[in-house]
Amino acid sequence: MYGRRKAKPIGFSNRDIPRRLVSVGVHYIVDLDNVDNDLIVDNDKLTEICNNSLEKGEATILDKMIHHFEPHGLTLLYLLSESHFSMHTWPEHQKIRIDFFTCEQNESKCISVIDHLKSEFESTSMKINILRR
């Protein structure tokens, strides 16, 4: 039909569309598969790896939460002044998932965190997705 306009979702207007999209941070989504059985059940070692990775990237840890699952498994959450970092393990599937979002403008610091993770999990299948947000 001629002259009909497309409906917009309620509460949406052209003013809501940013004129220029600005990236405020970088989001790293890291999938580790086929993680070594001895490593994936060693919660202390995994916590140490995360601590060292964030230290290498000069991240400022404001708070940290750790939850150990029985008989095995781990969830780590770091509140960073730059944003956040989390790790979740599934030892029964040999999988680890890491989520690292940072508003840090110095991308070399972010890459230091990821490079340290790569070196610690070098024998593991690793897939990294990077989102500019």
Burial of residue 115, with CB atoms counted within 10 A of its CB: 0-12 exposed, 13-18 middle, 19 or more buried: middle
Backbone angles phi, psi at 32, to 5 degrees: -110, 125
| CA 102 to each of CA 19, 27, 106, 127, 133: distance values in angstroms, whole numbers, following the listed order | 24, 6, 10, 19, 10
Pairwise pLDDT comparison (1 vs 53), residue with the higher score: 53
Q: Is 36 part of any domain? A: yes
Residue 2 pLDDT greater than 60, yes or no: no
| DSSP-assigned beta bridge partners for residue 68 | 74
Mean pLDDT of the chain: 88
pLDDT band at 22 (very low <50, low <70, confident <90, very high): confident
Active site residue ranges: 83, 88, 103
Whether residue 91 is contained in a domain is answered as yes
Sequence length of the chain is 133
Exposure b/e, 16-47, CB count within 10 A at least 16 = b = eeeeeeeeeebbbebebeebeeebbbbbeebb
pLDDT of residue 95: 97
Whether residue 29 is contained in a domain is answered as yes
pLDDT, one tens digit per residue, over 39-92 is: 999 999 999 999 999 999 999 999 999 999 999 999 999 999 989 999 999 999
Total domain count, the chain: 1
Quote the domain boundaries for residue 113. 25-132
Residue position matching structure tokens 């993770």: 117
| CATH classification at residue 41 | 3.60.90.10
Answer whether residue 68 is part of any domain. Answer: yes
User: How sure is the predictor about 93, in pLDDT bands with cuts at 50, 70 and 90?
Assistant: very high
Residue 19 lies in a domain: no
Structure tokens at 72: 């095995």
pLDDT score for 73: 96
d(C-alpha 25, C-alpha 63), whole Å = 20
Q: Would you say residue 87 lies in a domain?
A: yes
Inform me whether the pLDDT recorded for 119 exceeds 80.
Answer: yes
Residue 16 lies in a domain: no
Residue 20 pLDDT exceeds 70: no
Which band of pLDDT confidence, cut at 50, 70 and 90, is reported for residue 132?
confident
pLDDT of residue 109: 87
In whole angstroms, give the CA distance from residue 67 to residue 114.
23
Position 97 in a domain: yes
